[in-house]
Chains A and B, each alone.
Chain A
Amino acid sequence: MMEVELDDAELVRKISSGTDREAETELYRRMAPRIRLYGLRHLRNEQAAEDLTQQVLITTLNALRACRLREPEKLASFVLGTCRMTALDLRRTAHRKERLLEQFGAELTAPVQPIMPRVDYDKLRRCVQNLKERERTVVVMTFYDERTSSDLAGFLDVSEANLRMIRHRAILRLRQCMGVAA
């Protein structure tokens, strides 16, 4: 890690000025976890999120080394744009990759380091059981299926806005019960 944390614009300038390996390492340290999150959200798969991270970082580094980022303070926007393009590309090639994996085996893929905090399931079970009935049903069924469907609102005879409110309240209670900041 760099001794004094540079802001994004300074980091971009250092990388653009030559082959500053330390600045490039800092870019990786700073951006990789954030890009992985984007990948998990959009690709719903840890390996795909890891692939996305690698590709976005390579594209970003190449662009910075070639001084193609004209406004250094807009690094996050540039990375986000690259994430979107790369995710689209990965979705297109996912089918082809699945076929290659079937052919050559999953051992060819590099292991992905877990990045998520650990959850104490026993504690979570107690916290969920202490929710109000509606909150428990909403939060479990929503996250089980990862959908905020109108079906669920229909099942509960509530509007989607109301469903959202119940979900928000439940998440707040769960986080408080689990001992994390609201």
Chain B
Amino acid sequence: MNCSSPIDAAVLADYWLAALAESDEEAVEEHLLDCDPCSARLREIIALAEGLRHLAREGSLRMIVSDAFLRRAEEEGLRVREYAPPPGGSVQCTVTTEDDLLIGRLAADLIGASRVDLCICDERGVEQHRMPDIPVHLGANSVVFQESITYAKTLPDNRMIARLVTVDETGREGLLGEYTFNHTRSLPGPGTWQSA
């Protein structure tokens, strides 16, 4: 069966999220009840949505999250381990088998920042990874950073430095804050980096 007017996957995602206007939703439903290719595409969207929920619950993504997301995760029974080193300061941290999400709360004055990058640095302060133009609420006083807990659970003792920087239109950077995480491994396994 072919479809002469296929519904865009993004519209189907909106339909799944109940984000369409009522009249649009009715039109989509009429079409879906008469169209196998679009129904199949909707099934792909639902599977994708389920996959994303799985990854969110697994805590394996390195990303910026909101407090509402953390509240919802806790309501769902997920165990959130959170550290909040002050700007320029450090914190002793670890992760256990019972933890589901690993969060770093980075306090910073974000007023006036048009673009904020989060740089992940090694113990010498050398940048290893950059998250450019992270989503921030400019009135907020912190950035809530989720580290991949599956990655953190494999780590030996180490020190990680997170750096929040503003970047202006010319590419010039300004330091908003630097935060040191002194990780001690509390899970069984190697306590130091293993050479390959």
Contacts and interface: CB of A to CB of B under 8 A. Distances in A.
A148 B17 contact: yes
B126 interface: no
Contacts of B9: 171-172, 175, 182
Given A76-B30, A133-B134, A147-B17, A128 B52 contact: yes
Contacts of B51: 119, 121, 124
State the majority secondary structure of interface residues on A: helix
B68 A167 contact: no
Interface residues of A, number: 59
Interface in B104-131: 131
B195 to A, nearest CB: 26
Interface string A34-77: 11011011000000000000000000000000000000000011
B43 to A, nearest CB: 6
A133 B55 contact: no
A145 B22 CA distance: 21
Given A125-B60, A164-B19, A37 B43 contact: yes
A8 interface: yes
A180 B40 CA distance: 11
Interface residues of B, number: 52
A17 interface: no
A181 B15 CA distance: 18
A144 interface: yes
A137 interface: yes
Interface string B1-26: 10000000110011111110000000
B134 to A, nearest CB: 5
Given A37-B39, A121-B51, A155 B10 contact: no
A116 interface: yes
Interface of B: 1, 9-10, 13-19, 29-30, 32-34, 36, 39, 41-57, 60-66, 68-69, 72, 131-138
